[in-house]
A and B are shown apart, each in its own frame.
Chain A
Amino acid sequence: MAHQDKQVSVRRSLGVRIWAWWSKMRQKSLEAPPQKRVAIVGSPNVGKSLIFNRLTGIYVTVSNYPGTTVEVFRGRTYIDGVLYEIVDTPGMYSLLPSSEEERVARRLLMEERPDVVVHVVDAKNLERMLPLTLQLIEADFSLVLALNMMDEAKKAGVQIDTELLTNILCVPVVPVVATTGQGIEQLRRVIHEVAQGSPTYAI
């Protein structure tokens, strides 16, 4: 488990501010700057924050409810000795923003140039989610596609040939169940591979 960086600025009340300041001070004395940056993107309510929690061990309020993350959350984690900064973004449907939260997410992608972008999608509704995947590929990000809620998809009778999908998109595809943590280890490995520039998915 990595050290934690709480830049939680949702409620700027006195108590929280003192707490944030304290965590930051503690952090500073402990850590080097992160070497790689990973952004988690996807449409609202697909489990981005939960995956963020699973990757970093930091708790961000997660709801079964769209639109809960409006600001950007950051956390850190070590994978194989490399320090990663993980960024959780507000939900976006498309690179073309139609609300303030989508604008925030896009600005972050353009200005911070993450080394890896993890696109989290709801495996049950792949068809509605793929247009954003296509746009992220077009935009030239080093992409990882995380098929979340695989358990619900299975229950709904949806079967996905992840290998074929990987070959079509030329993007590594990782099936995960964020609520139970299934597939998170593999996701970490793939993020690391992509960040190091040696993704094994290449044909």
Chain B
Amino acid sequence: MKSPKAPPLMRYDPKLEEAIAGIEECLQSSYGISKRAIALLLLQGDREIEKLVEAKEGKKAADAVRKIVREVRAGGERSPLYRITTARRRLSEYIVSKVVEQSAPKPKTFSDRLSDWLIHPLWGSLFLLALLYFGFYQFVGVFAAGTLVEFLEDTIFGNYIIPPVERFFNWLIPWAWLRDLFVGDYGIFTLGIRYAIALLLPIVTAFFLVFSLVEDSGYFPRLALLIDRLFKGVGLSGKAVIPMVLGFGCDTMATLVTRILETRRERIIATLLLALAVPCSAQLGVMMATVSKVKGGILIWALFVLIVFLLVGFLTAKLFPGEPPRFFIEVVPLRLPRLENVLVKTWTRLQWYLLEVTPLFILASVLIWLGRITHLFDLVIAALSVPVQWIGLPKEIAKVILFGFFRRDYGAAGLLDMVEKGTIDGIDLITTAIILTLFVPCIAQFLMMVREQGWRVALAIFSFILPFAFLCGFTARHLLLWLNQFGLI
């Protein structure tokens, strides 16, 4: 470890130093860090270290240590934590005064002013809307999901890929039941691969590109500041915006990131909201693209999901009592994103997405194929048709919902497929999109929930979400039908 040359840089007040020396004497084992550091952590009231010391040194030594810590606590007018922190800060200030030279503070730069605008309630909100409209709606929804998808789906797949593949399998496999696995209605090529490449890939690429660009600019922490108030209303700290915003990237990842939240209460609420009402980028892109097919659909859909998000967040916050969380976030400087970094990031995400999604879609095709042979498929569809028809949706939607069980975006792709074929009307489309959005997003996220919160909480969340999603669909559809009577939509 370190050479003994280093002079004792940091000195605390005499009483603390005395206590440190006393504690150091009680410690015999090695800790991976110096005894002095251990003593200081103990004085600051670190429970984890206290337990560690008790385990390593035995009860007697631990009691002796506790006695010293208690005496220091009782002795000074300020807590040891405060005294230690202050001493360190003073020394830091002193060092900085020696080594850092700050030339006269510059007038506010453009970047500073921009930063102020971004967190201003009015200008900030306007910017957010503009970003959503141009960046996400126009680029992802209209360009990627419309133009690009049409090109890939109709021209490339429809003309050049599917026909030869079908011919090939027709030639290769004489039995229709086996051929169905590859090129049937739910075949690996005709459904799985086509959905992944022709429908989802262009949308997801466009979305990741915009997302990475915005992320690298440093906008998200400002967004966090902007919507902090909204979050406080639902019982979450502004810090919770981080997992929420990351959730729009990947919910599985975000469920893991809920660790940065300080209390278990916040973590459970955030996990629930992520599972319920935050569609991940892949799904968000596809959902947006799908609901964009109806005029004003994106607005209705977004509004409805937002209301559900706020309502559930608010009620859960009431249900899990706890102290109101503090706001804390580091505002990073605004930076001009570097193209190279943005591209690498987009590429990594795409790679991850394809690796994640393609095997699952193929698996889904295989499972459905097996299900159709054993007639289990019809049974499941019949079971799903019950809530679907209760809501008032056409029976066909049951299939889309089944796809949604594999992944939300798989279901959305099925929905988009129906739109392209023109077999669904506007209200049904929005209703189904809402149900799919509120669904548990994917198997990976569910497993992450289990890992982070345990089986009990994960299953509780899951069994809440399932009927709740259908209930919301029911409400949404009837609300829309009612509004429709007055010609409002």
A197 at the B interface (CB under 8 A): yes
A12 contacts across to B, CB distance below 8 A: 444, 447-448, 451
Total interface residues on A, CB under 8 Å, equals: 68
Contact A161 B352 (CB under 8 A): no
Given that A14-B360, A164-B98 are contacting pairs, would A62 and B257 also be in contact in the complex, using a CB cutoff of 8 Å? no
Residues of A within 8 A of B67 (CB): none
Contact indicator per residue, chain B 446-459, by CB within 8 Å of chain A (1) or not (0): 01100100000000
Q: How far is the CA of A66 from the CA of B105 in the complex (A)?
A: 26
Q: Mark A164-203, 1 if CB is under 8 A from B, else 0.
A: 1100111100000001000000000000000001010010
- The contact string, 1 if C-beta is below 8 Å from chain B, for chain A 141-175, is 11100000000100011111110110011110000
Q: Which of the residues A19, A63, A170 comes within 8 Å of B6, measured between beta carbons?
A: A170
- Total number of A-B contacts with CB less than 8 angstroms? 199
Chain A CB within 8 A of B36 CB: yes
Q: Which residues of A contact B (CB under 8 A)?
A: 10-16, 18-19, 43-45, 59, 61-68, 70-71, 95-101, 103, 109-113, 126-128, 130-131, 134-135, 137-143, 152, 156-162, 164-165, 168-171, 179, 197, 199, 202
Q: Is A165 within 8 A of B95, CB to CB?
A: yes
User: A66's contact among B10, B48, B330, B451, by CB below 8 Å, is which?
Assistant: B330
- Residues of A near B259 (CB, < 8 A) are 70, 99-101
Q: Could you jot down 24 A-B contacts, CB within 8 Å?
A: A11-B253, A12-B448, A15-B359, A43-B330, A45-B330, A64-B217, A65-B221, A65-B332, A66-B332, A70-B259, A96-B81, A99-B260, A130-B91, A130-B95, A131-B92, A135-B40, A138-B10, A140-B34, A140-B37, A141-B1, A161-B98, A170-B5, A202-B3, A202-B5
Q: Are A16 and B95 in contact (CB under 8 A)?
A: no
Assembled-state Cα–Cα distance A98/B99 (Å): 30
Interface residues of B in 30-71 (CB under 8 A from A): 31-34, 36-37, 40-41, 44, 46, 48
Verify B88–A134 contact, CB threshold 8 A. yes
Residues of A within 8 A of B34 (CB): 138-140
Q: Are B329 and A66 in contact (CB under 8 A)?
A: yes
Residues of A within 8 A of B348 (CB): 59, 61
A126 in contact with B359 given A61-B348, A64-B216, A134-B9 (CB within 8 Å): no
| CB-defined contacts of A164 to chain B, threshold 8 Å | 98-99
Closest to A159 in B: B101
**CA–CA, A199 and B3, complex, Å:** 10
Contact B33 A141 (CB under 8 A): yes
> Cβ of B349: which chain A residues have Cβ within 8 Å of it?
61
* Residues of the A chain whose Cβ atoms lie less than 8 Å from the Cβ of B358: 15
Q: Across the interface, which residues of A come within 8 angstroms of B448, CB to CB?
A: 11-12
